[in-house]
Structure 1
Amino acid sequence: MPKGRILIRNGHVIDTEPQPVVHARTDVLIERGRIVAVGRNLRSDGAMVIDATDRIVLPGFVDTHRHMWHSALRSAAVDVDLDAYFRLLGQVGPKFRPQDVHIATLAGALECLDAGITTQLDFAHIAYSPELADAAVDALKAAGLRAVFGYGTPVNVTGGGKLADVCRIRERLADDNALVTMAYAPLGPLSTPMETVAKDWRIADELDLPLTIHLASTPVNERPVFALRDAGLIREKTLYVHGNGVGDDELKLIADSGATASATPGDEAGRLRRAGITTGTGVDTVAFAPGDMFSTMRAAHLAGQIAEDPRMTAKDVLRMATLDGAAAMGLADRTGSLRPGKQADVIMLRLDDLNMLTAERDPIAAVVTAAQPHNVDTVLVAGKVVKFAGRLVHADLRRTARALRATAAAISAR
């Protein structure tokens, strides 16, 4: 469906800025891909009207960390430890051909849209060759979601990123205001020596790219944030992922630098937020986790109920999955809330499905604790309707499914 003047009428509208709040029987007016008004009884002159009665209307979800190429590896790493998981990636990654990366990334992106994820950071540590990197970028563009392509170093490649190819992709994605933009996603101090880390940081600085890196205490660097500090590599435009085993004093360094974090979600979400770090959430990988934000939000909410004070509320979790995620990715000026002037990344959830009946008493809690992907009725990205009445309108899902199954079988046979 093309962009145009759209009026979403009479919904339970959740805005997330500054904090999540519900406005009953409220309209959202969209023009030229942007939200222009939110209120009651807005005029619909010449607009396509979408009836939002019995619908929750909210910003599209923001997935701050996912390896999209893993769509061809769904549930392949369940009940294994981290070492076995990395061995699996090192074994199967080199078997991927450009067409495999393209269909896996496309399928993952369509899965995002189908489940209400309108913005996603693809940590694409599959860039064994320029052709593989191009295949991932092409798929993100074809899918129609808002995406940040994180040019990633494969887990079994030493020496850091390939400068010439990172520069080439940067030229392809030179417009930082486009729907698909770029970040640099090297291995970082998780598993590489600091001289390689410093080289990768220089690449990001020279190309004016945000960084995103996995962060945890490992035998290579038991105190990775201190190692970055000592090397003069703490920088603001960095999205740290996970944070497992990282000390509170290291988290303070991150907070003081203005850098951000992605919890996926684990019990680290509460620690990151309490340290004052802007924290989003993400799926990480469908190799061992569900691919939707509802499951991720529930896991974060449950983890936030167990221990430390203050407990994480449903409002906290929803904000992580929307506005804070956008801020963590440097995109809060264009998405993450329903404020006029922002691009219209909007989703609608059905309240008349069995699992959502009576949820209008607390739509925010329902989104976090009750909703499922099948409740996603309508999805807009930058004002373009990509899902309507429960169906993606711009994708041949049967063809995509056949291609993804063929890719998975071919990789297994190689």
Structure 2
Amino acid sequence: MSFITGKRIFKGGTIVTTDADVPNLATGDVLVQGERIAAVGTDIPADGAEIIDAGGCIVMPGLVDAHHHAWLGVMRRMMPDVDDLFAYIGVVAETLGAHYRPLDMYLSTKLTAAASLDAGITTIIDACHSSRSPAHTDAALEALESAGIRALHMVGPAMDKQASSAHLPGDLERLARIWNTGGSRVRVGLFGQFNLDWWKVARGLDMRILTEFIGDLAKLGPAFAQPGVLGPHNIFNHCTRLPRETWMLLADAGVNVTVNPRSDALFGFDDETCAYQQAVDHGLAPALGIDLDTAFGSDLFGEMRALFNQQRCAMRYRRFRGEADVPAPIGVEAVLRAATVNGARAAGLERDIGTLTPGKQADIIMVRTGGIAVAPVTHAIGTVVQAVERADVDTVMVGGRLRKRAGQLLDIDVAKLTAEAIGSRDYLLGASGYRPGLFDGAATPLKTAA
């Protein structure tokens, strides 16, 4: 079948569109032609299209992970109990990150991308605060491209003291020329924190700008209130414990906000004010991100459940404390939008992905609902948010290309990638002298050769 002209049709599934203008369907079809969605409806003629039997499945937009440090892939669960941000930085940046080769960047990023696809994530905003050199950046971008995921790779200086950022922001022009053209599936932005000089360079290249913003650690000075400094090109992650005037500034500028419920709890960044709810209260549409692999993994289903529980716990606490006019408990539809529509908007891709809308890119996943932990389905969106796991993801399509089918990743040698990732991890442990405990997490030094 010619990919450009070929057609595929998801036939006879439960259709969740996340588009208010395209109705959900108890039983329906999604027709894909080339890289785009051609139609959503009932009894769509196959007309020679390859049929994907969606019976007993939910067909829905691919998930969007709006904040993930993909370069941490080989450090999976290395620090599951960490609660100190600076201890975390000491290990992942100063101890291990300082020894990253471009090869380690490639393998970590590809491992994260592959695991994301396996879990139904079709788009990732890759927050790379370890762009040690142009070669490291090129390796990360090559990994994203070869994995087949849609990505916005945010280039940022490495966090360790040994690293040089002399190539930034100058390298952004080269990267934009290579990657930010036409309908490129992998694009580049700036992980610029609060460096307004770098922001100016990125804005001149029409790039998205990412800032991790924790209210306990940083404030926005008067320069950020100047006209044109903040806008829809900005992505602010975490946004925990921000003062009211800062929220008003962000809202007036129409920035994008992303939250990471699991890591915000892990490090104690958030509290009952709830960054997600603060964003909603100020008219913003917060997106959902996984953040890091050192404690978690590439699973947005778990993040959706964490958001549902975190918001409800925070609002319930505020209500029982006697606060008036407490926001309503979050519902599963809002959670799903945070993992699809809102993430697409944060990436600047709301016209292309995030919903099952004819004309948009065919970023589609199909999840099985017949498993013992999922069936019977009595609420489709509730099933996705509260019951589905990565093992239930049967099919993943990105821009019309199948990336997972019948529960198996396509065009990725999982055994080879896993072996290479283990080799990368072992190299980093050997080069750094750091050895995490297999059972208790306590690190012990490695003996180094004389």
Normalised by the length of structure 2, the TM-score is 0.86
Contact 1:176 1:182 (8 Å CA) reproduced: no
- 1:85: which partner in 2? 88
| TM-aligned CA distance change 1:225 to 1:336, over 3 Å | farther
- 1:193: which partner in 2? none
| TM-aligned CA distance change 1:271 to 1:57, over 3 Å | same
Shift of 1:91: 2.2
Alignment of 1:212-291 (within 5 A): 212-219=210-217, 221=218, 223-224=219-220, 228-229=224-225, 233-265=229-261, 266=264, 267-291=274-298
Contact 2:60 2:365 (8 Å CA) reproduced: yes
| TM-aligned CA distance change 1:40 to 1:120, over 3 Å | same
| Deviation string, structure 1 residues 347-383 (Cα, Å, up to 9, x no partner) | 011011111111x210100111111110000010011
Contact 2:22 2:357 (8 Å CA) reproduced: no
| TM-aligned CA distance change 1:225 to 1:329, over 3 Å | farther
- 2:334: which partner in 1? 316
Amino acid at match of 2:85: L
- 1:30: which partner in 2? 32
- 1:121: which partner in 2? 125
Judge which range, 269-278 or 136-145, deviates more: 269-278
| TM-aligned CA distance change 1:67 to 1:176, over 3 Å | farther
Correspondent of 2:48 among 46, 49, 52: 46
CA distance in structure 2 between the partners assigned to 1:24 and 1:385 by the alignment: 24
Q: How many residues align?
A: 403
Identity over the aligned pairs, expressed in percent? 30
Shift of 1:198: 1.8
Structure of greater Rg: 2
Contact 2:77 2:295 (8 Å CA) reproduced: yes
CA distance in structure 2 between the partners assigned to 1:20 and 1:41 by the alignment: 15
- 1:105: which partner in 2? 109
Alignment of 1:298-313 (within 5 A): 298-308=305-315, 309-313=327-331
Does the residue aligned with 2:170 lie in a helix, a strand or coil?
Answer: helix
CA distance in structure 1 between the partners assigned to 2:210 and 2:249 by the alignment: 16
Contact 1:184 1:209 (8 Å CA) reproduced: yes
Shift of 1:45: 0.9
- 2:396: which partner in 1? 379
Contact 2:38 2:359 (8 Å CA) reproduced: yes
CA distance in structure 1 between the partners assigned to 2:227 and 2:88 by the alignment: 30
Contact 1:216 1:242 (8 Å CA) reproduced: yes
Structure 1 residues not aligned, in runs of 5+: 190-196
Contact 2:158 2:165 (8 Å CA) reproduced: no
- 1:294: which partner in 2? 301
CA distance in structure 2 between the partners assigned to 1:231 and 1:128 by the alignment: 32
Does the residue aligned with 1:177 lie in a helix, a strand or coil?
Answer: coil
Contact 1:212 1:240 (8 Å CA) reproduced: yes
Correspondent of 2:169 among 146, 159, 163: 163
Correspondent of 1:72 among 71, 74, 89: 74
* Structure 1 consecutive aligned stretches of length 4 or more whose deviation exceeds 4 Å: 157-161
Does the residue aligned with 1:224 lie in a helix, a strand or coil?
Answer: coil
Amino acid at match of 1:271: Q
Correspondent of 1:405 among 422, 425, 431: 422
Amino acid at match of 1:351: T
| Deviation string, structure 1 residues 111-137 (Cα, Å, up to 9, x no partner) | 010000001111111111111011001
Shift of 1:274: 1.8
Contact 2:172 2:202 (8 Å CA) reproduced: no
Contact 2:157 2:165 (8 Å CA) reproduced: no
| TM-aligned CA distance change 1:279 to 1:23, over 3 Å | same
Judge which range, 5-14 or 20-29, deviates more: 20-29
Shift of 1:231: 9.4
CA distance in structure 1 between the partners assigned to 2:15 and 2:333 by the alignment: 14
| Deviation string, structure 1 residues 157-200 (Cα, Å, up to 9, x no partner) | 587861322222222213152101111112x23xxxxxxx1211
- 1:194: which partner in 2? none
CA distance in structure 2 between the partners assigned to 1:241 and 1:21 by the alignment: 32
| TM-aligned CA distance change 1:161 to 1:355, over 3 Å | farther
Shift of 1:208: 1.7
Does the residue aligned with 2:328 lie in a helix, a strand or coil?
Answer: coil
| Deviation string, structure 1 residues 69-104 (Cα, Å, up to 9, x no partner) | 101111122222111111122321120101111011
Judge which range, 224-233 or 392-401, deviates more: 224-233
Structure 2 residues not aligned, in runs of 5+: 265-273, 316-326, 432-450
- 1:145: which partner in 2? 149
| Deviation string, structure 1 residues 325-364 (Cα, Å, up to 9, x no partner) | 1012110100000010001000011011111111x21010
CA distance in structure 2 between the partners assigned to 1:276 and 1:395 by the alignment: 41
Contact 1:2 1:384 (8 Å CA) reproduced: no
Contact 1:22 1:364 (8 Å CA) reproduced: no
CA distance in structure 2 between the partners assigned to 1:70 and 1:224 by the alignment: 28
Correspondent of 1:95 among 96, 99, 104: 99
Alignment of 1:335-414 (within 5 A): 335-358=353-376, 360-414=377-431
Judge which range, 248-257 or 329-338, deviates more: 248-257
- 1:58: which partner in 2? 60
Does the residue aligned with 1:361 lie in a helix, a strand or coil?
Answer: coil
Shift of 1:290: 3.0
| Deviation string, structure 1 residues 220-243 (Cα, Å, up to 9, x no partner) | x3x226562269732331011000
Does the residue aligned with 1:44 lie in a helix, a strand or coil?
Answer: coil
CA distance in structure 2 between the partners assigned to 1:330 and 1:284 by the alignment: 19
Amino acid at match of 1:298: R
CA distance in structure 2 between the partners assigned to 1:310 and 1:161 by the alignment: 47
CA distance in structure 1 between the partners assigned to 2:21 and 2:293 by the alignment: 30
Does the residue aligned with 2:127 lie in a helix, a strand or coil?
Answer: strand
CA distance in structure 1 between the partners assigned to 2:22 and 2:97 by the alignment: 40
Shift of 1:21: 6.2
| TM-aligned CA distance change 1:184 to 1:176, over 3 Å | farther
| TM-aligned CA distance change 1:272 to 1:20, over 3 Å | farther
CA RMSD between the two structures: 1.9
| TM-aligned CA distance change 1:234 to 1:408, over 3 Å | same
Shift of 1:146: 0.7
